[in-house]
Amino acid sequence: MDTLARAVNAIDWINRCVGRAVAWLTLATVLICAAVVLLRYSAGIGFVWMQELYIWTHAMTFLLAAGFAYLLNAHVRVDIFYARLGPRGKAWIDLFGVIFLLMPWLVLLGWTSWTYVTYSWQTGEISVQNNGMPAMYILKSAILGFVALLGLQGLAWAGRSILVLGGREPPPHETLTGPLG
């Protein structure tokens, strides 16, 4: 069980680092969007690549920070019953959700997007827009990053649930308001 707790902590650390790094893309999105607007309306200048860039940063933020949001337990949850349950009941629901809902969906998404992403890399795909962003395969690869990071965090939640069901205290995790512990 100590190994499981260490694995949960390691996965949490990975998603915490990725999430905090990717959070800066939100600022980049705002600054790039503001620059596009200022250039267009003050100087009459427009760059297609720049318009696409803020869409890319916005998409990357959501795709790569999903595991971090799951770490923070910030995903939408219908908790009609969940909120009233004790730790063991919540652990059973979390474990069931990870095994039967999250993981099958992520496997399907990873499986179906693999060809899509690899084809993009093989062809050196670029934007369909004239003077658009090069290296479209980087953006498409973020789908696989989403699958990997959210899948890892799902495993961490499953590990927490197993620890609770085994009578152990799970490792503390962060929430939107700070660390638990």
| Span 26-75, pLDDT tens digits | 999 999 999 999 999 999 999 999 999 999 999 999 999 999 999 998 88
Q: Is 100 a residue whose pLDDT tops 80?
A: yes
- Return the pLDDT at 181: 40
- Return the pLDDT at 171: 74
- Identify any residues that bridge with 55 across adjacent strands, giving them in sequence order: none
Q: How many Å from the N-terminal Cα to the C-terminal Cα in the chain?
A: 19
Distances from the Cα of 30 to the Cαs of 39, 96, 178, in angstroms? Answer: 14, 38, 25
Length, in residues, of the chain: 181
- Return the pLDDT at 112: 97
- Return the pLDDT at 38: 97
Exposure string over 105-123, b if 16+ CB within 10 A, otherwise e:
ebeebbeebeeebeebeee
pTM over 0.85? The answer is yes
